[in-house]
Amino acid sequence: MNTHTVKAYGDELNQLTAEVARMGGLAEAQVADAVDSVARRDIALARAVVDRDVKLDAMHRDIEKKAIRLIALRQPVASDLRKTLAAMKLSVDLERTGDLAKNIAKRALAVAETEPMQPLTRSIERMGRLVSMRLRDVLDAYTSGELDGALAVWASDDEVDEHYNALFRELLTYMMGDPRTINACTHLLFMAKNLERIGDHATNIAETVHYEITGDEMIGERPRGAPGASETGLTHTHTLPEA
């Protein structure tokens, strides 16, 4: 319920939250469509994802501008200030999520020109579904203000890392077994890394939702890496150059 004595102030805060939710919906669709374009070798869909990214960039700039204006004119405090700052932080994570989805779509265009590698693209599809689900769950937690939903996403951060490590090993095996697959596998490896980073942004959003609701920072390290991963020398810290 809006308890602000100045109705326009309450409306501005609610509008900010609604715009972040709309931006989240678009970012979520971008990730799902980018992964679909890989699985279906759909060039038109990949190009659509690339083209739509400008809309996310514009939404990010608009939310940031409105949040700054609200701080300057209304001087929010306590929960109102946290709500405003959370909107700014979430728009940054969502804009970067869109950039990563665009990168996946660009690589989908390149992979579509190579021989089909269905076992590997299915692995990308599975990882993409997991990341999309985490993104959807944390955005639901944001719009509903449910702390438990945000905590659940934060606590499952290592699931995406485990998928990435498994896919990393799978791709290396293919490349060593048949050097002709190196080009396509390299594109798929970058796609997997992009998905892993989208998972990190979902975790960032969970931390921001926690701060907005409680006023406290989350304490403790994020869950990291698969059990026994260190024994194989493979952990979530496999690094790739920026895609």
98 vs 8, higher pLDDT: 98
Tell me the C-alpha distance between 53 and 32, whole Å. Answer: 13
pLDDT of residue 230: 36
pLDDT digits over 175-222, tens only?
Answer: 999 998 999 999 999 999 999 999 999 999 999 999 999 999 877 776
Q: What is the pTM of this model?
A: 0.87
H or E segment to which residue 114 belongs? none
Structure tokens at 115: 């021989």
pLDDT of residue 77: 86
Tell me the C-alpha distance between 43 and 174, whole Å. Answer: 24
pLDDT of residue 232: 32
169 has a pLDDT exceeding 50:
yes
Cβ burial of 136 (10 Å; 0-12, 13-18, 19+) is middle
Tell me the C-alpha distance between 194 and 204, whole Å. Answer: 15
Single-letter amino acid, residue 16: L
User: In sequence order, what are the residues at sequence separation of 6 or more whose Cβ sits closer than 8 angstroms to the Cβ of residue 227?
Assistant: none
